[in-house]
A and B are shown apart, each in its own frame.
Chain A
Amino acid sequence: MMSMLKLLGAALIVLAGAMIGHIKARRLADRPAQIRRFIRVLQQLETEIAYGFTPLPEAMHKLAQQTAEPLASLFAGIAAKLSSGSGMTVKESWEQSVTERWPYTAMQEGEQDILFQLGSSLGTTDREDQLKHLRLASSQLGSMESEAAEEQRRFEKMWRSLGVLGGALIVVMMY
């Protein structure tokens, strides 16, 4: 009986270790994917600004509808703040929404800084200047993406096996 319980506990510990490893690996894999998606969103925004002359609140609303979570609610938040008539500027709404939704994304500080920089110039200059800023942000995110992909390649497998092995190590030490 005792040994059965012990075995069950050991299995649970190994499972928990595997889960932790899996979550870590997922975050590593999600980060480059989300950055790539963000770049695509910025390209969409570029089109809205350059060819559609869409006002920013409306453009943000469109982007929110066209992307999946967690980015969708980020843009929906910005759109809501801009059209609320509360007197918030693009910079403020952008920064607030990005900060609020950041924990739900797999992206990191480097990406956040790029977005803050973009937010401070969005909407307040002419079309060409807007495009310049969007392209700059896209290319900066691009280099972040390759960095993140490299990290994923190096550490994803490692985290997966480390999780299981760590669990196994604890079990071995307990026995």
Chain B
Amino acid sequence: MLDGIFRILPHILAKLIAGLPMDISRALEEIRIRENRPLEIIYGDQYRFVSVEGELLERPERAYCPNKDVCIKLIDLLSNHSLYTMEEELRRGFITVRGGHRVGIAGKVVLEKGAIRHIRDITCFNIRIARELPGIGIPVLPYLLDPSAYSVHQTLIVSPPQQGKTTLLRDLARLISYGRLKMVFPWQGLKVAIVDERSELAACMDGVPSFDMGPRTDVLDACPKAEGMMMMIRSMSPDVIVVDEIGREQDANSIHEAMYAGIRVIATAHGRDVEDILRKPVLRELIAQQLFTRIVVLGKRSRMSSSIDVFDGAGRRLLLPETV
């Protein structure tokens, strides 16, 4: 899983990360590299600094500090030796690398007429390790089936950050695209269109998804959601449209458009629970109109597990919270 990471790490960093104990490298979430500041790793709910010898430290004093040379090497490697091809990525603040991992970057921002043009003197890196969890959507999917249409319900997934919202959405898209999954999804695969504004769902490299998104899935990479949904409706005749993190006025218009065109939408939104998202005007309206016939709420149970709640459009609970 970390293979893609080692391709972009300069030798010394690769050695330190490869030397991490198995249980930690398996739970690794982020590697944070800051020029002349301690190397930090985040796993589970904890953070540690790493010393030159590979020890994990709670205090930063004795930690290894990557110097400017290491940072320049890192930029060189993660941009495929060509930072000049990454202008769009620099404007957005992150670069997607092989394996679907994303590297967030910060440094000195260069403005042009008040708008961000790119980042130079890149000195902070956050390597976020992407994990594919095939099958995570299987317990949820039966609740989303709509037998009358041989399709899925209009679904909104609500979850606070870092609870696997995107991972669940990705797996649902794949399961629906494959189809014929026994009782979980008894029908043929559906045409799935993904509008991946932040390149997070499919993690496309040169337009090709890094993750297995299913055989009947089209991905519109890095496109603003509202326009992207309209484009997909017009051009790709999807059965299901999948989008991440809706919430703006234009998003609602596009969702209306899709739903009236008979297309099923699976979307996600930030929020702790249904009450929380009802405070957002756009989402409140969509829910009040009962456009979404299923609402899935992901909650936090303990450090490693989360709970899943499923409601119908009128707010009736269909699935008791269950630890997954």
Using a CB–CB cutoff of 8 Å, the interface residues on chain A facing chain B are 49, 53-57, 59, 82, 85, 87, 89-91, 123-127, 130
Report the stretch among B6-14, B140-148, B294-302 that lies at the interface: B6-14
Supposing A124-B72, A124-B83 touch, asked if A85 and B7 sit within 8 A by C-beta, the answer is: yes
| Nearest opposing residue in chain A for B72, CB measure | A124
A-B interface, 7 closest residue pairs, ranked by CB to CB distance from nearest: A127-B84, A55-B82, A56-B81, A89-B76, A56-B82, A123-B81, A90-B81
**Which of under 10, 10 to 19, 20 to 34, or 35 or more describes the interface residues of B?**
20 to 34
| Nearest opposing residue in chain A for B79, CB measure | A123
Roughly how many angstroms separate A126 CA and B108 CA in the complex, as a whole number? 13
Q: A57-B80, A87-B10, A126-B84 are in contact. List 12 more A-B contacts (CB 8 A).
A: A53-B85, A54-B82, A54-B85, A56-B80, A57-B82, A85-B7, A89-B76, A123-B83, A124-B76, A124-B83, A126-B83, A127-B84
CB-based contact B87/A126 at 8 Å? yes
Using a CB–CB cutoff of 8 Å, the interface residues on chain B facing chain A are 7, 9-11, 14, 72-73, 75-77, 79-85, 87, 90, 118, 120
Roughly how many angstroms separate A124 CA and B77 CA in the complex, as a whole number? 9
Q: Jot down 16 A-B pairs with beta carbons below 8 A, ordered by A.
A: A54-B82, A54-B85, A55-B80, A82-B81, A85-B7, A87-B10, A87-B11, A87-B14, A87-B77, A90-B76, A123-B79, A123-B82, A123-B83, A123-B84, A124-B76, A126-B84
Roughly how many angstroms separate A164 CA and B186 CA in the complex, as a whole number? 92
Contact for A125 among B9, B80, B83, CB less than 8 A:
B83
Roughly how many angstroms separate A126 CA and B118 CA in the complex, as a whole number? 8
Roughly how many angstroms separate A130 CA and B76 CA in the complex, as a whole number? 13
B11 CB to nearest A CB, Å: 6
| Nearest opposing residue in chain B for A125, CB measure | B83
Instruction: Give the chain B neighbours of A91 by CB distance below 8 A.
Output: 76
B296 CB to nearest A CB, Å: 40
Q: How many A-B residue pairs have CB under 8 A?
A: 55
Roughly how many angstroms separate A57 CA and B77 CA in the complex, as a whole number? 12
Roughly how many angstroms separate A123 CA and B73 CA in the complex, as a whole number? 11
Contact for A55 among B9, B14, B81, B90, CB less than 8 A:
B81
Roughly how many angstroms separate A123 CA and B72 CA in the complex, as a whole number? 10
Roughly how many angstroms separate A92 CA and B85 CA in the complex, as a whole number? 20
Roughly how many angstroms separate A14 CA and B136 CA in the complex, as a whole number? 86
Roughly how many angstroms separate A42 CA and B77 CA in the complex, as a whole number? 22
Instruction: Give the chain A neighbours of B73 by CB distance below 8 A.
Output: 89
Instruction: Give the chain B neighbours of A59 by CB distance below 8 A.
Output: 82
Supposing A87-B77, A124-B76 touch, asked if A55 and B85 sit within 8 A by C-beta, the answer is: yes
Instruction: Give the chain A neighbours of B9 by CB distance below 8 A.
Output: 87
Roughly how many angstroms separate A56 CA and B86 CA in the complex, as a whole number? 12
Instruction: Give the chain A neighbours of B118 by CB distance below 8 A.
Output: 126
B319 CB to nearest A CB, Å: 46
| Nearest opposing residue in chain A for B10, CB measure | A87
Instruction: Give the chain B neighbours of A85 by CB distance below 8 A.
Output: 7
Contact for A126 among B14, B72, B76, B90, CB less than 8 A:
B90
| Nearest opposing residue in chain B for A49, CB measure | B84
Roughly how many angstroms separate A103 CA and B84 CA in the complex, as a whole number? 32
Instruction: Give the chain B neighbours of A124 by CB distance below 8 A.
Output: 72, 75-76, 79, 83
Roughly how many angstroms separate A10 CA and B75 CA in the complex, as a whole number? 64
